[in-house]
Amino acid sequence: MTRHLLSAADLSHDDAVLVLDTAAELAAVADRPIKKLPTLRGRTVVNLFYEDSTRTRISFEAAAKRLSADVINFSAKGSSVSKGESLKDTALTLEAMGADAVVIRHNQSGAPHRLAHANWISGSVINAGDGTHEHPTQALLDAFTIRRHLCGGLGDLNGRSVVIVGDVLHSRVARSNVLLLHTLGAHVTLVAPPTLLPYGVETWPCAVSYDLDSSLGKTDVVMMLRVQRERMGASYFPTEREYSRRYGLDERRAAELPEHAIVMHPGPMNRGMEIAASVADGRRSVVVEQVANGVSVRMAVLYLLLGGNEPAIGAIDE
């Protein structure tokens, strides 16, 4: 494993499978009466969140705590950052406090990369979402969820097809998923209006379509992306209604999916916009399970980046 997790591209095929296998082992802990392992006892994990986030921050916090790490939560609001402190100075502070790992969510693409490589800190850096760049642990939990449902919970995702729909241009989830799912052998198709696809998307390891209906019939997974409120009214598409009509996953479209196909969403959802409420709550939806899997996957990442060489679960009987 690398020392940092900044991009899904940092993970080789074997690294990615190792994270998923480790997460599967660690998931078992969640079923125990005492959901805690001593693995990272005495290590300090800082959650450095420059953007509002509920599920990702809580997920990382739960993951670190289940591994017995000391967790420091640092959010930009109400901190020195709101007084104009630079990322560098915040980083130097965290370094002085002895952070072994910094989990960073930042509104600027590349901020985790700077934190890892600008010689500000010495600990591991985990990207918990940076601007419109990447969100690698989201891709890992998505891969974990897909593997569980469609691959018997083992190995990689060889040959599975995944359709990712929506605002790819601004989506860090889409970027990380394209990279990771491709690494794991899946076939990814991005579906979006042309305005919401990045320049150069044809060079990415995936297929691209402007038409949702023709993409649904044979897919194993459909992943809907959130349409950010601020995109509406910026001429990316004419109206919410037109977007929803052309790219929303409603009941009619969900019925076109193969029997075994699952519906995913990284959340938070705009019910009625990119996904109909009945589909979000329907039998194919694994949205809630994605959240649960997020904790296991983040435990695995923290363990593999920080935990050293002992088996993750082996420490249980200590």
Partner 1 sequence: MSELGMSELGMSELGMSEQTVVIRNVSPLGGERVDLVLADGKIAAITSPGAGENSGDKSVPGMGSIEIDGSALIALPGLVDLHTHLREPGREDAETVVTGSRAAALGGFTAVHAMANTNPVADTAGVVEQVWRLGREAGLVDVHPVGAVTVGLDGKHLAELGAMADSAARVRVFSDDGKCVHDPVVMRRALEYVKAFDGVIAQHAQEPSLTEDAQMNEGDVSGVLGLRGWPAVAEEAIIARDVLLAEHVSSRLHICHVSTAGSVEIIRWAKSRGIDVTAEVTPHHLLLTDESATTYDPVFKVNPPLRTKVDVDALREALADGTIDVVATDHAPHASQDKDCEWGSAAFGMLGLQTALSVVAEAMIETGLMDWAAVADRMSTAPARIGRVFDHGRPIAVGEPANLVLLDPGARTVIHPEGLASKSHNTPYAGLDLPVRVTHTFLRGQPTVLDSSLVDMSTATNPDLNPDLNRGIDD
Contact flags string 154-173 toward partner 1, x per CB under 8 A: ------------------x-
**203 touches partner 1 (CB under 8 A):** yes
**114 touches partner 1 (CB under 8 A):** yes
**278 touches partner 1 (CB under 8 A):** no
* Residue 280 contacts residue 222 (beta carbons within 8 Å): no
Our answer to whether residue 55 is catalytic in this structure is yes
Chain Cα centroid distance, residue 70: 23
* Residue 282 contacts residue 241 (beta carbons within 8 Å): no
Our answer to whether residue 56 is catalytic in this structure is yes
**2 touches partner 1 (CB under 8 A):** no
Q: Which of 74, 204, 236, 243 touches partner 1 by CB under 8 A?
A: 204
For residue 259, count other CB atoms closer than 10 A to its CB. Answer: 5
Q: Which of 31, 78, 199, 283 touches partner 1 by CB under 8 A?
A: 199
**235 touches partner 1 (CB under 8 A):** no
Our answer to whether residue 284 is catalytic in this structure is no
**230 touches partner 1 (CB under 8 A):** no
For residue 18, count other CB atoms closer than 10 A to its CB. Answer: 15
Instruction: Tell me the site size for partner 1, rule CB under 8 A.
Output: 25
Strands 207-209 and 221-224: unpaired
Our answer to whether residue 148 is catalytic in this structure is no
* DSSP, residue by residue, 140-196: HHHHHHHHHHHSTT-S--TT-EEEEES--TT-HHHHHHHHHHHHTT-EEEEE--GGG
Single out the residue of 127, 138, 166 nearest to residue 273, CA to CA: 166
Say which of 55, 65, 88, 246 is annotated catalytic. 55
Interface ranges with partner 1 (CB under 8 A): 86-88, 106, 108-111, 113-114, 117-118, 130-134, 172, 175, 198-201, 203-204
